[in-house]
Structure 1
């Protein structure tokens, strides 16, 4: 066709071009769904449960976590509670967790010889030991590890990064496929009945329209936990200051131990190193747990903070707390001999990137906006499960017998240039995502060659 040719011929070419683009997008929407839908179902179910972790743990473990308020009774000292915990479960106390509310128990982490680390729960009013669980052994810690795939090793954490990138691709291609093209239904309404494929197509499309934003948001805010991108960004953000945000005073002796290895920490502080007590060589006596707790109280740490107890002469008392209110996040390391704060930092000390990422993580976990945050994300999780189920039913109803049902390859392969551009962009920003896209592009090319009809 020459440049001067207009009319029906060019209209036909335009229609063919649009059809080829639609086929290419549909094909890669199918592949994206094939890659991430199993992950999305698992993440949606475990994520929905974890949104209500405090409420569920309080019910399931009420015999250990709940106590009757006795305002007229003087509370047992932290050291007395630690002594009671060790008497019941012999070992070394390594952490004391302050009761978060007047109606909750204290938690003492004891490193035992035969049973490993135990979380021992003590009534703060009576000093009575209520029982124990394996450290991080509550039902919600189990759900959290399932959600993060931590049970499946570091390779699985890399899959989170890949799934996150493909989820974004899934939403982008889904919006293109949803975009109205003269149809009267399936945009904001659902046609047909569950017996018909169009019903499931419309359920999928309409649900995806409303849930797509949340999928992208959750994918991006979940990236900090990924094995490659998350670790590198953390190192880039805090790598030149012993893992602390720039500007935090760290001109004190530092150990090689990381905060995340000894206590729950925020994402920004996973690689932060723990300082050392500097006065242990001068014959000074440790201040003790009771005095350390009193100092943390005077410093104003939010209730429910954890205190890591030093187990070596150079160790420090580390008080840390990460409540729903981001502004109250705080970590303080005390010299175990003088009681002086060696490092004292809070959310206000994070850099702009750290603050943005921590805010996203807080929303991701359903904490930032209270119950409304939990309910909105619960609805999003239900929507994600609906998307996955409707996609499966829709595929089952349209697939040819004995075939995987991959959408047809476009006649003009040049439409894949846009995909290659996405591959390059994804490879620069998220290396594992770019690598997975390249592998899928090669597999798609190989599949197309194998499945191509042979001439008679």
Structure 2
């Protein structure tokens, strides 16, 4: 997004012009630092994010032997029959039944093997044939999702995502200032809305970076903000604050049933707003009664109208519950229902409309972030945005390589008035207050910058 105009040495300028030049240099310098931190992550996030936009389609293609079946005229077999077939193929403790989302989709039974590792068994719902199995969340797209969030590399690496998201917002803000047209005349659109020169010239890459940056900047900010809820530190703290008292259900929802210490996110993937929701308990005075079976629980969920493709977590203790949950593309259809395992009656029925205002806004943003809320249009628009982010990063790298002095980093020069730089850092620090890890990284970068300047002055 930056234009990086060369600042030629000249005779003393009027104070207002010199101050404007110093401000430009200060912002350019921190835009450069933000790029060093963000651009490697931006490319990784853009590529993995572009793939995950089409997670259902790619999983159905890559795992077609497990995910797809031939539609039959007869009705699907009862879930209990499928459960028995899955346990015969993979002995263990049944954990979850996932109903087919479409007529040509397989059913899925999740089983804990004797070592306690969850295994996803895929079955033809019409014939009861076991199609195969994978480790739970072991599909291609779950791997891509874990790469996207750096979950595969542990909590420290995931903290880097939070830093990158915060710095990307600073990158867009500083880049917008650098892009803002300051010239007048017939050439004022060059590097603002049009690209000049050829790929052999640095001007071409500077203009490409500026134009692509201003077009995709709003998407970068939106994706950074809507991705922040999943971050370790900021997301976790905001989740606690939004849910209040570590309760997990939006304020105002009356919960008049006993609750366990089990949280909904321990049962499997859930929405951000319900991660800390406590799972209710089945009635203690019914323990002498026979519990309902999976078929009866599924029939109840069907009667209640859960969206196709819902998952049913089975009770694992005498006071456990059947939990039906579904998080489809349409965020308004999100729903979690807990059934008493003895009476089969709903204990809690949580819908998207029951979330608090912050929860509804965040869940809507997350659904758009995932490319789900507006169907194919959502996917295509974000795919284009992801490709533009890659172009933004590549053009920045080429532009820097062509500009930098041989053997040097090519850091933009310091402003003449150090007060200007301190003012810019103070403004950036406001973002660090909102996002603590970003603030810590900003402080570290400021120390490194001062050390670098000090070392350079010693050599002079």
Tell me the TM-score normalized by structure 1. 0.95
Tell whether the 8 Å contact from 2:287 to 2:342 is kept in structure 1 after alignment: no
Deviation at 1:423, TM superposition (A): 3.8
Alignment-derived partner of residue 84 in structure 1: 85
Alignment-derived partner of residue 166 in structure 1: 167
State yes or no: 1:421 paired with 2:423.
Answer: no
User: 320, 324, 330: which is aligned to 2:329?
Assistant: 324
Q: How does 1:223-234 map to 2 (within 5 A)?
A: 223-234=228-239
User: 409, 429, 447: which is aligned to 1:404?
Assistant: 409
State yes or no: 1:214 paired with 2:219.
Answer: yes
Alignment-derived partner of residue 181 in structure 1: 182
Tell whether the 8 Å contact from 2:170 to 2:428 is kept in structure 1 after alignment: no
Alignment-derived partner of residue 43 in structure 2: 41
Distance 1:151 1:416, change over 3 A: same
Alignment-derived partner of residue 362 in structure 2: 357
Tell whether the 8 Å contact from 1:319 to 1:332 is kept in structure 2 after alignment: yes
For the residues of structure 2 that align with 1:275 and 1:23, how far apart are their CA atoms? 58
Distance 1:36 1:109, change over 3 A: same
Alignment-derived partner of residue 66 in structure 1: 68
Q: How does 1:303-452 map to 2 (within 5 A)?
A: 303-452=308-457
For the residues of structure 2 that align with 1:427 and 1:188, how far apart are their CA atoms? 32
For the residues of structure 2 that align with 1:86 and 1:366, how far apart are their CA atoms? 35
Alignment-derived partner of residue 4 in structure 1: none
Alignment-derived partner of residue 114 in structure 2: 113
For the residues of structure 1 that align with 2:25 and 2:430, how far apart are their CA atoms? 22
For the residues of structure 1 that align with 2:203 and 2:357, how far apart are their CA atoms? 47
Once superposed, what is the RMSD of the aligned Cα atoms? 1.5
For the residues of structure 2 that align with 1:277 and 1:361, how far apart are their CA atoms? 32
State yes or no: 1:128 paired with 2:129.
Answer: yes
> Could you list the runs of 4 or more consecutive aligned residues of structure 1 that deviate by over 6 angstroms after TM superposition?
none
For the residues of structure 2 that align with 1:78 and 1:249, how far apart are their CA atoms? 32
For the residues of structure 1 that align with 2:330 and 2:62, how far apart are their CA atoms? 25
Deviations along 1:121-155, whole A, 9 cap, x unmatched? 11111111111111011100000001111111112
Deviations along 1:191-232, whole A, 9 cap, x unmatched? 111111111101100000100010011111111011111111
Tell whether the 8 Å contact from 2:331 to 2:364 is kept in structure 1 after alignment: yes
Deviations along 1:275-313, whole A, 9 cap, x unmatched? 111236641111010000000001110000000011211
State yes or no: 1:144 paired with 2:145.
Answer: yes
Distance 1:26 1:420, change over 3 A: closer
For the residues of structure 1 that align with 2:338 and 2:206, how far apart are their CA atoms? 56
Deviation at 1:368, TM superposition (A): 0.9
Q: How does 1:248-327 map to 2 (within 5 A)?
A: 248-279=253-284, 282-327=287-332
Deviations along 1:32-76, whole A, 9 cap, x unmatched? 0000111100000000000000110111111111111112x1321
Deviations along 1:372-400, whole A, 9 cap, x unmatched? 11000000000000011011111111111
Tell whether the 8 Å contact from 1:332 to 1:341 is kept in structure 2 after alignment: yes
Alignment-derived partner of residue 207 in structure 2: 202
For the residues of structure 1 that align with 2:315 and 2:161, how far apart are their CA atoms? 35
**Higher RCO structure (Cα 8 Å, ≥6 apart):** 2
Secondary structure of the residue aligned to 1:317 is: strand
Secondary structure of the residue aligned to 1:420 is: helix
Secondary structure of the residue aligned to 1:133 is: strand
For the residues of structure 2 that align with 1:126 and 1:400, how far apart are their CA atoms? 69
Deviation at 1:103, TM superposition (A): 0.7
State yes or no: 1:100 paired with 2:105.
Answer: no
Tell whether the 8 Å contact from 2:273 to 2:359 is kept in structure 1 after alignment: yes
Tell whether the 8 Å contact from 2:195 to 2:208 is kept in structure 1 after alignment: yes
Structure 1, unmatched stretches of 5+, are 1-8
Tell whether the 8 Å contact from 1:249 to 1:343 is kept in structure 2 after alignment: no
Tell me the TM-score normalized by structure 2. 0.94
For the residues of structure 2 that align with 1:241 and 1:332, how far apart are their CA atoms? 20
Distance 1:453 1:186, change over 3 A: farther
Greater mean alpha carbon deviation, residues 327-336 or residues 180-189: 180-189
Tell whether the 8 Å contact from 2:286 to 2:342 is kept in structure 1 after alignment: no
